[in-house]
Structures are given as C-alpha cells and as structure tokens.
Structure 1
Amino acid sequence: MKVAVLDIKGKDTGRKADLSDAVFGIEPNKHAVYLDVKQYMAHQRQGTHKAKERGEIVGSTRKIKKQKGTGTARAGSIKSPIFRGGGRIFGPRPKDYSQKLNKNVKRLARKSALSMKSKDKAILVVEDFDFEMPKTKDFIQVLKSLGLENKKSLFVLGHSNNSVYLSSRNLKGSEVLTSSELSTYKILNANNIVLLEGALEGLETNLNK
C-alpha cells in the first residue's frame, strides 16, 4: 500500500511510503482487539481498594447488652457491622486485576487496529522532524498544518525524542509515543494516527515477528 509522505507543513514531499499489507491491510480480528483492550483497561486498575471489616476495627469487644429479653437483635460488640462505626460486611479487599494475553494475540490485535485505521483513511505518514527546543506552540502549528488541531491524534516516533514529546505534553488531544510503546487501546482511542517515516521499519518489524 503506497501512501504519500507529507512534511510538517502538510505538503506532499513527492515521496511514497510503502505500508505493509501484513500490518495495515489484514482482515481485522475484532475478538483479538477486544481481548487486548480489555487487558489494557484491567492493567489501569490499581486494585488498592480496602475497607475495614469487623476484626480490623479498633474498639471495645464488651458485649453491649444482654443476649435475650431486650426485644431487639442480639449484638456482641460495638464493632458489629449494624452499628455506626462498625466493620463493613464483605468489604472490598486489595486485588490484582492484571490479565495474561498471548504475544501473538497482542500483535494480531495491534495489526487489526492499524488495519481499521488504514481502511478509514485515518493514517498519515510524515517525514521525521524535530524542534530546537520544546515549545507547545510549535507542535500546535504542526497539528494545524496537518488538519488535526481539533482531533484526537497519536504521533508514532521511531525513537524517543524529548523535544517533540515535551512540546505535546500539555495538549489534551494529542499524544506522542515510540513504535515500541504502541498499544491497541492507544490506536483505537485516536481519531488519526501520524506515523513518522523513521517509525515504519521498526513498527513493521515488531508486528511481523
């Protein structure tokens, strides 16, 4: 699949980038996409929720009233869950929500997500660029030139670039990642994917292992 390579001003450079059909042109596997996104969302959960149960409450264990004859329910101590300040019944406990997923399924999911974006013509290929120093306004100008100013965009770099990353960090709708950090969730969450030329080889190599 041939795609025009643009510069940061949004103009055609006259060059073509060859996007592998094995990565950008497969029949999407929606179940693999579902499993990968599900795993990603599960890994975002800290699982540190905790409520004190009866045995963890600090308080007197004295029996507060006699067992029979009061006409009310029996109560062993003030730590009983039926009293204010007592323990919680079956309260949340710390839990590990992480899930395992086969590497081949994860690769298939990312290729499926990229193929979906490619089919929707939501992938741009831009020549590698850099900034002399981190400036948000420079990155905003790039977004304007590419027609992405008011859209969720994901820039995929071939290698870590601190200037580009810091320039985009304050922008809520834009994100910058390297090809090795790319995930199915990030791909689907963006309206447009901007692939830098330097990211193509590494991306296709990683997904075709």
Structure 2
Amino acid sequence: MKVAVLDIKGKETGRKVDLSDDVFAIEPNEHAIYLDVKQYLAHQRQGTHKSKERAEIAGSTRKIKKQKGTGTARAGSIKSPIFKGGGRIFGPRPRSYGQKLNKNVKRLARKSALSLKSRQKELLVVEDFNLETPKTKDFVQILKSLGLENKKSLIVLGGTNNNVYLSSRNFERSEVVTSSELNTYKILNANSLVLVESAVEGIQSNLSK
C-alpha cells in the first residue's frame, strides 16, 4: 500500500512510501485490541491504596462491656469494625494491577489499531523535520498546515528529538512519541496518526517479527 509523503506545510512532496499490508492492512482483531488496551490501563493504576484494619487501629483492647446482661450484642474491643473509628472490614491493600499478555497478541493488537487508522483515512506520512529551538508556536504552525490544529493527534518520530518533543509538551491535543514507544491505546486515542517518514521502517520491523 503506497501513501503520499507530505511536507510540514501539508503539501505533497511527490514521493510515496510503501506501507506493509501485513502491518497496515490486516483485518482488525477487536478482541486483541480490547486485551491490549485493558492491560495498558491496568498498568497505569498505582495500587497504593490502603485502609487500616482492626489490628492496625490505635485504641484500647479493654473489653468495653460485660459479656452478658446488657441486652445488646457482645463486644470485646472498641477497634471492632462495627464501632465508629474501628478498623475497616476487608479494606483495600497495596497490590499490583499488572496483567500478563502474550507478546503475539500485543503485536496483533497494534497492527489491528494501525490498520483501523489506515482504513479510516486517519493516517498521514510526513517527511522528517526538525525544529531549531523548542517553540510551541512553531509546532502549532506545523499542525495547522496539516489540518490537525483542532484534532487530537499522535506524532510518531523515528528516534528521539528533544526540540520537537519539548515544543509539543505544552500543547494538550497532541502527543509526540518514538516508534518504539507506540502502543495500541495511544494509536486509538488519537483522531489522527502522523508518521514521520523515518518512523515507518521502525514500526514495520518491530511488528513484522
């Protein structure tokens, strides 16, 4: 599948890049996408929640009333969960929400997400570019030229580029990642996917294994 390469002014350069059908034109597997997104979101959870149970509450261990003759239920400690200020029953404990996922399923999910973007005409290929200094204004001008100023976009670079990354960091509707950082959630969360020309080879080599 051949796609026209644009310059940063949004005009065609006259060149085309060949996108592999095995990566950008497969039949999307919705269940694989679901599993990969679910794993990604689970890994975003810190799992540091904690509440005190009755053994951790500070308080007297004295029996608060006699066992019989009060006409109410027996009670042995003020730290009991049934009293105000007592411990919590089955409260949350620190835990990891991480989930395991077969790497072949993850690869299938990413190829499915890229194929969806390609099928929905939400994928652009732009020639490699650089910014002399980190300026949000210059980065926004590039997005304007590509017609993406008011859209949520994901720009994929071939490698680390600090000037482009720092220029985008203050613009909430756009995110810049490298081809090695690309994941299913970020692809689907963007309205438009912009691949820098040098990133195409990296994506295809990573997903064609």
Secondary structure, counterpart of 2:40 in structure 1: helix
1:19-57: CA deviations, max 9, x gaps? 111100001111111111111011011111111000111
Code of the residue aligned with 1:121 in structure 2: it is K
Map 1:103-122; keep pairs closer than 5 Å. 103-122=103-122
Code of the residue aligned with 1:134 in structure 2: it is P
Map 1:84-99; keep pairs closer than 5 Å. 84-99=84-99
Secondary structure, counterpart of 1:17 in structure 2: strand
Which whole-Å CA distance do the structure 1 matches of 2:167 and 2:74 have between them? 65
Corresponding position of 2:163 = 163
TM-score if structure 1 supplies the norm length? Answer: 0.98
Note the C-alpha offset of 1:2: 1.0
Which whole-Å CA distance do the structure 2 matches of 1:197 and 1:183 have between them? 18
The count of residues paired between Structure 1 and Structure 2 equals 209
Which whole-Å CA distance do the structure 2 matches of 1:80 and 1:140 have between them? 59
TM-score if structure 2 supplies the norm length? Answer: 0.98
Residue ranges of structure 2 left out of the alignment (5+ in a row): none
Which whole-Å CA distance do the structure 2 matches of 1:208 and 1:22 have between them? 7
Which whole-Å CA distance do the structure 1 matches of 2:71 and 2:140 have between them? 73
Corresponding position of 1:202 = 202
1:117-150: CA deviations, max 9, x gaps? 0000000000011111100111111111101111
Which whole-Å CA distance do the structure 1 matches of 2:97 and 2:26 have between them? 31
Which whole-Å CA distance do the structure 2 matches of 1:66 and 1:135 have between them? 74
Corresponding position of 1:152 = 152
Which whole-Å CA distance do the structure 2 matches of 1:139 and 1:58 have between them? 56
Is residue 131 of structure 2 the alignment partner of residue 131 of structure 1?
yes
Secondary structure, counterpart of 1:177 in structure 2: strand
Residue ranges of structure 1 left out of the alignment (5+ in a row): none
